[in-house]
Amino acid sequence: MAKIVVLGAGIAGHTAAAFLKQKLGKNHEVVVVSPSEYYQWIPSNIWVGVGKMKLEQVRFKLKPVYDRWKISFMQAKALAVFPEGDGDTANPFVKIEYTGGDYKGQTGQVTYDYLVNATGPKLNFEATEGLGPKFFTHSVCSCDHAVETWSALQSCIERMKNGEKLRFVIGTGHPQATCQGAAFEYALNVAHLLKELKLEKMAEITWISNEYEIGDFGMGGAFVKRGGYITPTKVFSESIFAEYGINWIKRAGVNKVEQHTIYYETLDGEYKSIDFDFAMLIPAFAGAGIKAFNKQGDDITSALFAPSGFMKVDADYSAKPFEEWGTSDWPSTYQNPVYKNIFAPGIAFAPPHQISKPMKSPNGTLITPAPPRTGMPSGVIGKVVALNIVDMIKKGSTEFKHRASMGEMGAACVVSAGFGLIKGSAATMTVFPIVPNWEKYPQWGRDISYTVGEAGLAGHWIKLFLHYMFIHKAKGYPFWWLIPE
């Protein structure tokens, strides 16, 4: 019997655990370790943050689902990996700290034969002074944050109803933050809500981002087919902002937040500030902070993890100039090169390089979005990792037939603006591949037939449908495995 431990129960981890158990059955053990007792469908936190969905609509308890699937669940966070065991045991194990249940606050160990590190990102608010819910800005990165953000937004709405004109700033809160799509979507939803309440004249909404051009989204932007024409995402995104009356500041690295004031550095090297009454800024992401030790107790964290804290996988981490990188340098199996029984799907893996061209200010500050790995790519990668582990266990395979390189994988993004069957709207964009392949597609970097963008009510219907479809899949309801990632 093989024992597979999955760290994390987000999109990548939950997907991996589901397929591992489905394919391996009762003859092998699957254990999920997650610090939260809940699964949350993060893409819909945007709607929680504007009061269009309730907390219980975007999350559910994990244990009942895992009990039904015969998966063991431990509410705990991983502290350290011992891939060779230690002086007391030859079995590899993970040191954990319980975050819930009877053992809350205590530490323990969970042994494994195969380890899937799907811990996702640490929300690194502390990388920017004054950033985050504990200080002066809000977040939609977790459902709890989104609830708090909606409460703060309601207070602003009441102030505007009483005649105050307020300043809203939405975007990224660090020079190297990613997940621009989530902030972009939240800005549109706030604008739509205020228009719905007839308060748009009482609000000044400004988008602030580390993107070189609006619509970069950490993937170097794209050219999309729209209405029979080829349009850069810069024009696509700016036209949507203009439609909703949103101003924008680009090429800006936020470095400090005080009450009512955001300080940022521009790519030109200038230091500026913008005042606000309400701000929702996405933080930088970092790895979960897991350490690693060998059998002798020596710290080998650098063998498993990059300096960012994300796990090293089958990628090229050499220090090549940006212009020399190619799609073949991106991972496809997400297997650690040193310990072959360890994998890292989703946000947990360390990207080999930027997708957007690295840009530094004259002061030496890198102001560039980090590569996105959320949503659809995380699910696809989680499934691929699961299938390869199944082949390793059942067939003894060392050559993997299941692969998911972001240089050969497409992704779809649906950015809502509003909520409802007749009033909502959404910008729908697909790109193929995620990492541009200029050798294969020299004109556009991507296959323009599959890289398209449209805006309208139909896109919003798709967004609503996807919410309920993926909640159905995550809960393991009938035929869940037929729903694509």
- Give burial (CB, 10 Å; 0-12/13-18/19+) of 87: exposed
HSE toward the beta carbon, residue 367, CA cutoff 13 A: 27
Contacts of 454 (CB under 8 A, 6+ apart): 226, 227, 427, 428
CA torsion angle for 345, 29, 90, 384 (degrees, to 10)? -20
Displacement of CA 128 from its chain's centroid (Å): 19
Burial 305-340 (b: 16+ CB within 10 A, else e): bbebbbbbbbbeeeeeeeeebebebbbbbbbbeebe
* The one-letter amino acid at 307: P
Q: How many Cβ atoms are within 10 Å of 155's Cβ, its own excluded?
A: 12
Question: In residues, how long is the chain?
Answer: 485
pLDDT value of residue 199: 98
- Contact in structure between 287 and 119 (CB atoms under 8 Å): yes
Q: How many Cβ atoms are within 10 Å of 160's Cβ, its own excluded?
A: 20
pLDDT value of residue 14: 98
Spell out where 20-126 has E strands.
Answer: 29-34, 38-40, 59-61, 72-82, 93-98, 107-111, 114-117, 122-124
Structure tokens that stand for 469 in this block: 């479809």
Per-residue pLDDT of the chain (485 residues; tens, 9 = 90+): 999 999 999 999 999 999 999 999 999 999 999 999 999 999 999 999 999 999 999 999 999 999 999 999 999 999 999 999 998 888 999 999 999 999 999 999 999 999 999 999 999 999 999 999 999 999 999 999 999 999 999 999 999 999 999 999 999 999 999 989 999 999 999 999 999 999 999 999 999 999 999 999 999 988 877 667 788 889 989 988 999 999 999 999 999 999 999 999 999 999 999 999 999 999 999 999 999 999 999 999 999 999 999 999 999 999 899 999 999 999 999 999 999 999 999 999 999 999 999 999 999 999 999 999 888 889 999 999 999 999 999 999 888 999 999 999 988 787 777 776 666 677 777 889 999 999 999 998 999 888 877 777 766 778 888 899 999 999 999 999 999 88
The secondary structure of the chain in percent helix, strand, coil, rounded to multiples of 5, reads: 30, 25, 45
Write phi, then psi, for 346 (nearest 5 degrees).
70, -150
- Contact in structure between 262 and 280 (CB atoms under 8 Å): no
**3-state SS, residue 174:** coil
- Give burial (CB, 10 Å; 0-12/13-18/19+) of 297: exposed
- DSSP characters over 214-225: TT-TTTT--EEE
- Contact in structure between 251 and 359 (CB atoms under 8 Å): yes
pTM score, whole prediction = 0.95
pLDDT value of residue 98: 98
Distance CA 190, CA 289 (A): 34
Give CA separation, 306 vs 93, 286, 291, 348, 353, in Å: 20, 10, 11, 11, 12
Residue with the two structure tokens 């590899």 = 92
Domains delineated in the chain: 3-123+286-395 (3.50.50.100)
- Contact in structure between 211 and 159 (CB atoms under 8 Å): no
DSSP one-letter code for 89: -
- Contact in structure between 380 and 387 (CB atoms under 8 Å): no
Write phi, then psi, for 205 (nearest 5 degrees).
-105, 125
pLDDT value of residue 422: 63
